[in-house]
Amino acid sequence: MTLIQNVVAAALFLSASLLAFAQNFPNRPVRLIMPFPAGTSVNDVLGRALAQRLSEPLGQQVIFDNRSGAAGTIGSEMVAKSPPDGYTLLLAVTGPMTIAPFVYPKLGYDTQRDFTPVAMVALAPYIIVVHPSVPAKNLKELIALAKAHPGKLLFASAGTGSTPHLCTELMMSMAGISMQHIPYKGGAPAMIDTIAGQAQVLCTSVTNAAPFIKQGKIRGIGVTPMKRSAVLPDLPTLDEQGLKGFDVSQWMGVLAPAKTPQPIVQRLHQDIAKVVNNPEYTKFLYQQGGEPALLGPEEFGALIRTELARWGKLVKAIKVTAE
């Protein structure tokens, strides 16, 4: 056989081997790693429900495994270094994938090099809220107050370099204002201190904020995506209130380790799509303050590249570093 014939034969053999491997996948339980603590975010709730529902089309149990630490980077690194066989997957969210690479100088993974996109699943909108003592009922009044008292307002966040932190920094940059950052170890303590008045401003998920807004413990200023939330439909977006083009949501998707065979990636995407397109799961997403946002591997990969460019530019401009 000629060299070309050998190469073609090898390629055909590899293709057949991968197809056979994919056809036998999965033959044991699959783990979906959540890189944050259990019950601390809407992503945990949505991801847990995804894992439960994904077991049926896959024909194997999908184990939802919380591996938290270092703002989501420990669990993410664990998946990056796992065998590329489709049995260990990452429930990926904005922070560890597209912000952490610029905040942590010695991160144990590279988002684009060490992962294979499988599917984006959902979006979860954020909201800017204030303590009721703050004399601002909308974004215009909050900006005016911050300009009148530069650096005096305290804004809480789920931690330095978290998506809510960067969301607030982006708002300040676009509005030309400054506030003092108070980082917490998670969204829950940040919310508790905002309700107590220890901080005046907070970016958090709509799901976390809605009950407290209805109780009058905090006041909603505006939601951060380009469209209003179904949970709080009367609250306008920041874009509507003058920050044109402001569009920030927490995205959630599934990544596999790099070099996972494409037939397995496609099988996983197809089964995830069945879950996301199921009306029951769609209803559940909206009830939890999220919304379905299904993207395939290529589209999801393009979104991640866009997000890396956006957040990288902001992090470098404001010189955020991990504590």
Per domain, the residue ranges of the chain are 3-123+250-318, 125-223
Q: 278-319, pLDDT tens digit by residue?
A: 999 999 998 888 889 999 999 999 999 999 999 999 999 988
Q: What is the pLDDT of residue 3?
A: 54
Are the C-beta atoms of residues 93 and 293 closer than 8 Å to each other? Answer: no
**In DSSP terms, which residues pair with 257 in a beta bridge?**
115
What value does the mean pLDDT take over residues 207-229? Answer: 96
For residue 320, what pLDDT is reported?
Answer: 83
Question: Which residue carries 């946002």 as its tokens?
Answer: 293
**SS3 call for 31:** strand
How many Cβ atoms sit within 10 Å of the Cβ of residue 237? Answer: 20
Average model confidence (pLDDT) for the chain? 92
Residue 45, pLDDT above cutoff 70: yes
Hey, do 3-123+250-318 and 125-223 end up sharing a CATH topology, with the first three levels equal? yes
The mean pLDDT value for 61-79 works out to 94
* Radius of gyration, CA atoms only, the chain: 21
Q: Are 89 and 30 in contact (CB under 8 A)?
A: yes
Is the omega angle on the peptide bond into residue 26 within 30 degrees of 0, that is, cis? Answer: yes
7 confidence band (pLDDT: 50, 70, 90): very low
The structure tokens 């107590």 sit at 196
Q: Cα separation of 90 and 114, whole Å?
A: 12
Q: What SS3 state is found at 126?
A: strand
- Chain segment 128-173, per-residue pLDDT in tens: 999 999 999 999 999 999 999 999 999 999 888 889 999 999 999 9
Residue 292, strand partner residues? 122
First to last CA, the chain: 61
Cα–Cα dist 263/216, whole Å = 51
Q: Give CA separation, 105 vs 68, 108, 117, 210, in Å.
A: 19, 9, 23, 36
Q: Does domain 3-123+250-318 have CATH number 3.40.470.10?
A: no
239 vs 70, higher pLDDT: 239
- 6 pLDDT higher than 80: no
Indicate the SS3 state at residue 190.
Answer: helix
Cα–Cα distance for residue pair 43/118, rounded to 1 Å: 17
Residue 10: per-residue pLDDT: 47
DSSP sequence for 37-88: -TTSSHHHHHHHHHHHHHHHHHTS-EEEEE---GGGHHHHHHHHTS-SSSSE
Residue 129 has φ and ψ, to the nearest 5°, of: -125, 160
Range 224-228 average pLDDT: 95
pLDDT of res. 255: 98
Report, as an integer, the average pLDDT of 112-139. 97
Q: How confident is the model at residue 322 (pLDDT cuts 50, 70, 90)?
A: confident
Least Cα distance to 132 among 225, 214, 243, 242 occurs for: 214
pLDDT of residue 230: 87
Architecture of the domain defined by 125-223: 3-Layer(aba) Sandwich (3.40)
Band of the pLDDT at 20, cuts 50, 70, 90?
A: low
pLDDT value for 22: 65
CA–CA gap between residue 122 and residue 249 (Å, rounded): 10
Residue 161 confidence (pLDDT): 87
Q: Of 76, 78, 204, 207, which is closest to residue 131 (Cα–Cα)?
A: 204
What global pTM score does this model have? Answer: 0.87
With a cut of 70, say whether residue 224 has pLDDT above it. yes
Q: Using CA atoms, how far apart are residues 258 and 267, in angstroms rounded to an integer?
A: 16
Half-sphere exposure of 284 (CA within 13 A, CB side): 19
pLDDT at position 306? 97
pLDDT at 106 over 70: yes
Cα(286)–Cα(305) distance, rounded to whole angstroms?
Answer: 27
Give the pLDDT confidence score for residue 235 in this predicted structure.
Answer: 97
Residue-wise pLDDT for 255-285, tens only, equals: 999 999 999 999 999 999 999 999 999 999 9
Residue 80 and residue 77: Cα distance in Å, rounded? 5
pLDDT band at 16 (very low <50, low <70, confident <90, very high): very low
